[in-house]
Amino acid sequence: MSANAATSGAHADEFIVREDHHPENGTMLGFWLYLMSDCLIFAVLFAIYGVVGSNYAAGPSPADLFDLDIVAVNTAMLLLSSITYGFAMLEMARKRTQMTLIWLAITGVFGLCFIGIELYEFHHLIHIGAGPQRSAFLSAFFTLVGTHGLHVSFGLIWLVTLMTQVRKHGLTTENRRRLSCLSLFWHFLDVIWIGVFTFVYLMGVLR
């Protein structure tokens, strides 16, 4: 009986270990699949912009509209937010909850600055009559840049939610896994924005 009980206990322990590991592996795999689907969405938007981005309908061109100084500042905000999120992940690895929260908060501030500048740009363009209905170029521009901005906004909501969870429960295994997923998402948006800055803004002005 004791041998059977020990065997049963070993099987139970093995089941618990597997049960603990499956959610983590499943979460990360599912999140990578989500990122791949997002890659396809942005690839389509970039392709559409590449096709119709020169159709100005006798309206303003990128060189007439884009202020590279403002765009450069906005790009710096997003790049800095990725750096500060990296610092948060380092503090998480050291299991320093308070410092992790501080760096996450700084990341959120940079992210809000990015969204604020982007909203200012959109408002300015619409105010001068360069709204998304003006030409195919502007429709594609607002769709591509706006979709990225929506993703950053979603990331900020996710960030605040995770900060609340970490403050309440600490750096548990689940919270560490969620922070890792958000890190992938945030850096993914950083890469997409570098593509937007180069392909839409920089090449548009230099064209």
User: What structural domains and CATH numbers belong to the chain?
Assistant: 32-206 (1.20.120.80)
pLDDT attached to residue 21: 47
pLDDT attached to residue 26: 67
Output the CA torsion sign for 84, 186, 78, 167. negative
Convert the pLDDT of each residue in 102-150 to its tens digit. Answer: 999 999 999 999 999 999 999 999 999 999 999 999 999 999 999 999 9
Residue 178 in tokens: 């969620």
Output the CA torsion sign for 177, 179, 183, 184. positive
- Distance set, CA 63 to CA 27, 134, 144, 170, 205 (Å): 44, 16, 18, 49, 4
Convert the pLDDT of each residue in 69-100 to its tens digit. Answer: 999 999 999 999 999 999 999 999 999 999 99
Which pTM value belongs to this model? 0.85
Q: In sequence order, what are the residues at sequence separation of 6 or more whose Cβ sits closer than 8 angstroms to the Cβ of residue 15? A: none
pLDDT attached to residue 23: 54
Phi-psi map region of 171: left, alpha, beta (phi>0 left; psi -120 to 50 alpha): beta
Least confident among 3-12, 50-59, 67-76, 95-104: 3-12
* 25 has a pLDDT exceeding 50: yes
User: Is residue 109 within 8 Å of 167, Cβ to Cβ?
Assistant: no
User: Is residue 192 within 8 Å of 46, Cβ to Cβ?
Assistant: no
